[in-house]
Amino acid sequence: MRCFSLDHKKLAAALSALSLTFPLTLLAVEQKGQLPLDELRTFADVYNQVRIGYVEEIDDSTLLEYAIQGMLMGLDPHSVYLTKDGFQDLQDNTSGEFTGLGLEVGMEDGYVKIISPIDGSPAATAGLQSGDMILKLGKIPVKGMSLNEAIDVMRGPKGSDIELTIGRPGEGQPFEVTLTRDTIKVASVRERWLEPGYGYIRVAQFQSATGSDVGKSLDKLMAKEELKGLVLDLRNNPGGILRASVDVAGLFMDGGNVVYTQGRLANSDMYYEADEKDASNGTPLVVLINSGSASASEIVAGALQDHHRAVVMGTRSFGKGSVQTILPLSNSRAVKLTTALYFTPNGRSIQAEGIAPDILVERAKVTAYKGSPRITEADLSGHLGNGNGKSTDDSGKNKASRKAASELLSSDNQLYEALTLLKGINVLGMRDSKSDG
């Protein structure tokens, strides 16, 4: 067997010199001693054995790239080495358009875990859910893949198919689902009326323009009629740009802290403040969250909860309380490194804990109980009038309102409960104003 030796001192010097190519922020970390030569010797020996003894020849640049990937994978699920394709994917996600399945994913126990499907994507249409585990991509087991490798397999030409084997908590056997890749255009924000006076704004992802888009949606609703209450839906929102979450929360606050971050680097300790004016004029607000609400979504929910500005409803959020910084290494490669933890205004870290809703409402299939036909006083022959000259007949408007409420109850019980709560807040508000008068 042909062997060669490496000069460990030269290797240590080379690695030390290599650190000079990293961004200046990394150099702010206080040096706690020299490079560990014993560990460097071990690295050099392993590198040597793989280089000369692995069953297939692998070039040095590929081996070093694998070493970098492994180093970052050992830190936490969100620190990754971004190759050219991965760096481009990150930029695409931030801009709001890419080709793929429409999944926000992370790694857990060596498998790819779905954080949330993107609204309107092939994954959402197929019924994939937050918490599902991807066990196989086609016939390839996911176990042993890096997150970037799994994402590369899921990406592909528009119109091409891929079969996923899914494990769902609480269900016995894994199941297969075939998805057709498509161009994913993430509509960051959309709005509509739930009922006259009660608005709804859905934020699917926090992109660079999300703050201004939510502001425009709010203005559009308020321009049409008086806004008695608003639902801000952050369910299955995987997060995104931190600054966008600050902008969104600030639209509903009269100043104050939205979030602060702390890390080892001096420039990691940041405080983010809301603007002084509440753009919604104090409109009663319910924020909907679930286990697919992560990162920037949790910043918004936590800030509005701590400032007692909104009622947070739904189920406990995902619990991603860390901040990732993109550190470019070149025009095509970068490191996404966890550099800080973030805290809500009251100093809560939600890392691995999540935001607990003020009112717990599980997602459920609910149908209104019809029962047997009701007999009321108005149905009795010869009944007296009510004395106010009002008819007991239902108007078409009341019937339409009841039908819409029944449909909302059966299609989205959490949203139904949010709307009901807003109505109750308004009833109490009107009674208080009358008593004050």
The residue type found at 174 is P
Cβ of 378: how many Cβ atoms within 10 Å?
11
Q: CA angle, corner 171, sides to 182 and 174, nearest 5?
A: 55
Judged by phi (left if over 0) then psi (alpha if -120 to 50, else beta), residue 110 lies in left
> From residue 325, how far is each of 79, 334, 339 by CA, in Å?
9, 10, 6
User: Residue 193 and residue 91: Cα distance in Å, rounded?
Assistant: 33
Catalytic member of 306, 349, 358, 423? 306
- Residue linked to tokens 């949010």: 418
Structure tokens at 74: 């050992």
Residue 295 annotated in active site: yes
**Alpha-carbon torsion (215, 182, 102, 360), positive or negative:** positive
Q: Helices (H), strands (E): how many in the chain? A: 11, 19
Structure tokens at 273: 């403040």
User: Residue 123 and residue 318: Cα distance in Å, rounded?
Assistant: 19
**Alpha-carbon torsion (236, 238, 239, 240), positive or negative:** negative
> Do residues 258 and 299 lie in contact, with contact meaning Cβ atoms separated by under 8 Å?
yes
SS3 227: coil
Strand partners, 267: none
Catalytic member of 217, 295, 297, 322? 295
- Residue linked to tokens 């689902």: 177
SS3 356: coil
Residues in the chain: 437
Burial 89-120 (b: 16+ CB within 10 A, else e): bbeebbebebbbbbbbbbbeeebbbbbbbbbe
SS3 170: coil
SS3 content of the chain, % helix, strand, coil (to 5): 35, 25, 40
The radius of gyration of the chain from alpha carbons, rounded to an integer in Å, stands at 27
Catalytic member of 121, 320, 322, 336? 320
Residue 216 annotated in active site: no
As annotated, the active-site residues are 295, 306, 320
